[in-house]
Structure 1
Amino acid sequence: MRANTFKDIAEYIVTRRSESGDSQESLAIKLAAYDVLFENLDSLTISRWERGKISPNLIRQVSLIEFFNDQPQQLLCDAAFELKQLPSINSFLKMMGQQLNYNHVMGAHPYISQDTISFDKLSKNADEAESMYGWIANYHTNLTKGREIWSKCFIKSLAQADSTDVSFYLVDGLLAGHIFIIKVSEPTFDALSKNQLNDQQLTPEHLIPADEPGCLYMLSTYLGGKHVTEDFLSQLLVTLAETKNNIAFGYKARSDIGVKLMDFLSGEVVHVGEALQEKMEGAKYQGKRRSYVSFKLRRQSLISSSLFLNLTRSCK
């Protein structure tokens, strides 16, 4: 992002168009060629944007900022930048409060007070990481009731890749949450999402370097209470948005909270797993319990989501 600061999207468009030497008409033509989001765009609409009469929707704002070679997350996530159409996240916070107080399968850690606000955040380079890989494997095997059996060696081998992002959240020595994200090519991502490649069939050879274009796939995650929720989500969302090389993000939601989170982020359902009979097993989708629900979220959709913008703006 260049050094300029802007009051709102109207001031941004006026400034960047002036710098580029474009007329409103020529900018409309270039934007229409740049992204299908601007199909049938005309100079009158750009004039109304610049005068603040109307504002482009959030996903259009993301694409427009990228057209001018700026970083949309840096601009839109600045609380000083006015966003007239940003909905509140009260419904999301209410959902999280309900889910995190439900039971440990859904998120609430049974041994930690929900009033706890302090925690230690460890990376995969921490001395304790070795044993925690075993805990993650056990958690996943238990979560799926043995339908998917992971091992400590499997988790460790994937964690060793430079592009793998791992965080552990500890409260008084108890593992109260974790996040485990790998980076793969888009074809591998699609194969994982559709279960053409099972998660436990992943090897380090499937992973790609962080600086290559690809998709972030959340292999495993757990939210153990309100005390880690904001940090957890902020890290997750910023990690996804910080570079154009992250084309998309996705995961297999194996519990209700994972499905509800993607509802708020407007994630695309790619595939669903087998139907389950037990009331508390798997994830509920369209009235049925499923072993998993696979989601895909494009980077542009993420950055323009009200959840991402509200969470990141509140942290600055």
Structure 2
Amino acid sequence: MFRFSDYLRICRENKGVTQTELVDELIAADSVFHSLDATTLSRWERGVSKPALSKQTLIIKYFSNHFGRVYPFLEEAEPIKIEKSFCAIGFSKMLGRHKMVMDFPTQSMDINLFRIQLFQDSSHQQTAVRKNYLILKELYGSNFSEQQHQMLAEHPANYFSICDYMGDYYGHFFALKLTTVAFEKVINFSITIDQLTLDDIAAQDEVGSYYYFGFFSIGEVVISLIWINFYTHLIKEQKRVRNLGATIVTKEGETIAKNMNTENTCSIEVGGQTISSFQATPAQMLITENIVKMLFNPESCPELH
């Protein structure tokens, strides 16, 4: 896992300021640092002591704003290194319960044997597409056909990951990379997801917004690994992502949306059912105390002890 002490030093050195200069800048940026001095900052960089989680988050926000990207320099690391830095158990607790996460006892399974693969690399493509089709049918009464699902799944700009364990399907996560115009229409209920076409999908190298299109998991460990894979992807691809969002019909879904620091945009009533939309920027979702804790505080992760 990454350590906050190392990350703090790397960001400061790349900014080209001394410890004393950084202290002055942090104090000017937020009054919470009013008592900070260079001696304390030095102790933080050497790992002798560590600031409270709230201050770690503020410092990371400060560097992210200065360098114009979320988690500067971290996004340059290999995806596997970022993934291994996340605490899977911590992610599971952050997400909470959901009807699309089964109670299969995956805790006793070897976590190193789970493989998160992109759709095009998986042998469980049909299983995942079929499962997602049934989920949308159950939750939204969607008129999307399996063939339409298949076309969207095969589009290289969309994000579709599938979990494999020793040759068996264990779950998936599907997000559409919509054009910014199409995303706003869906989030504001100007159009329904049934009306989306391939023309509404942003190109791979184009700035777009991710719309969560369905997920399923056999157990808590699996959904944590699936989300960690997506968060890693988001850190790496942040320059091409404007917003992220979903339309939600369940209380469990609302809880997850709020835990991920997304905001309720609007709600409508359809056939006696309330549908709410939630959205956030990559920075809103990624720079939270929960994420900072899982990325930079290995001592707080039970699975590492």
Instruction: Tell me the SS of whatever aligns to 1:215.
Output: strand
Identity %: 16
2:66: which partner in 1? Answer: 67
- Shift in CA distance, 61/309, structure 1 to aligned 2, threshold 3 Å: closer
The match for 1:18 is 17
Q: Does the alignment pair 1:226 with 2:228?
A: no
Aligned match for 2:133, one of 113, 118, 137: 137
Cα distance change, pair 70–178 in 1 and its aligned pair in 2 (3 A): closer
2:171 equivalent in structure 1: 177
Which residue of 196, 208, 214 corresponds with 2:208? Answer: 214
Q: What is the distance in 1 between the residues matched to 2:55 and 2:90? A: 24
CA pair 222-312 structure 1, distance change in 2 beyond 3 A: farther
Taking structure 1 as reference, are residues 230 and 16 closer, same or farther at Cα in structure 2, changes over 3 Å only? Answer: same
What's the CA shift string for 1:86-109, capped at 9, x where partnerless?
A: xx9999755756x26xxxx35225
Of 238, 244, 253 in structure 2, the residue corresponding to residue 249 of structure 1 is 244
Which range moved further: 122-131 or 233-242? Answer: 122-131
Confirm or deny that 1:271 pairs with 2:271. Answer: no
SS in 1 for 2:17: helix
Deviation, structure 1 residue 47: 10
Name the aligned partner's letter for residue 129 of structure 2.
Y
The residue that corresponds to 1:193 in the other structure is 187
Q: Which amino acid aligns with 2:173?
A: I
Does residue 276 of structure 2 align to residue 293 of structure 1?
yes
> What 5-or-longer segments of structure 1 have no aligned partner?
32-37, 79-87, 278-289
Match of 1:149 in 2: 143
Which gives a bigger RCO, structure 1 or 2 (Cα 8 Å, sep 6+)? 2
**Shift in Å, 1:276:** 7.1
Q: Is the 8 A contact 2:124 2:169 kept in 1?
A: no
Assess if the C-alpha contact under 8 Å between 2:92 and 2:220 holds in 1.
no
The 8 Å contact of residues 193 and 295 in structure 1, kept in 2 or not, is answered as yes
Contact 2:94 2:259 in 1 (8 A): no
Contact 1:89 1:307 in 2 (8 A): no
Helix, strand or coil at the partner of 1:72: coil
Q: Report the secondary structure of 1:136's partner residue.
A: helix
Q: Work out the CA distance in 1 between the residues paired with 2:57 and 2:176.
A: 28
What is the distance in 1 between the residues matched to 2:287 and 2:203? 26
Q: Deviations 1:190-242 (Å, cap 9, x if unpaired)? A: 11111212112111111112222221221112233123022112112122222
Inter-partner Cα distance in structure 2 for 1:240 and 1:189: 17
CA distance in 2, matches of 1:173, 1:89: 22
Give runs of ≥4 in structure 1 deviating > 4 Å: 40-43, 45-57, 73-78, 88-97, 170-175, 313-316
Q: Size of the alignment, in residue pairs?
A: 270
Q: CA deviation at 1:152?
A: 0.8
Q: Which amino acid aligns with 1:58?
A: T
Structure 1: which amino acid aligns with 2:255? Answer: K
Q: 1:177 is paired with a residue of what secondary structure?
A: strand
User: How far does the alpha carbon of each residue in 1:66-90 deviate from its partner, in whole angstroms, 9 at most, with x for none?
Assistant: 5236761654999xxxxxxxxx999
> Which residue does the alignment assign to 2:233?
239
Cα deviation 1:140-176 (Å, max 9, x = unaligned) = 20233xx323211111111222111111224576643
Relative distance call for 1:255 and 1:123 in structure 2 (3 A) is same
Residue aligning to 2:291: 308
SS of residue paired to 1:149: coil
Q: Which amino acid aligns with 2:278?
A: F
Q: Secondary structure at the match of 1:274?
A: strand
Displacement of 1:254 in angstroms is 3.2
TM-score by length of 2: 0.69
Contact in 2 for aligned 1:253/1:293 (Cα 8 Å):
yes
Counterpart CA distance in 2 for 1:184 and 1:217 is 7
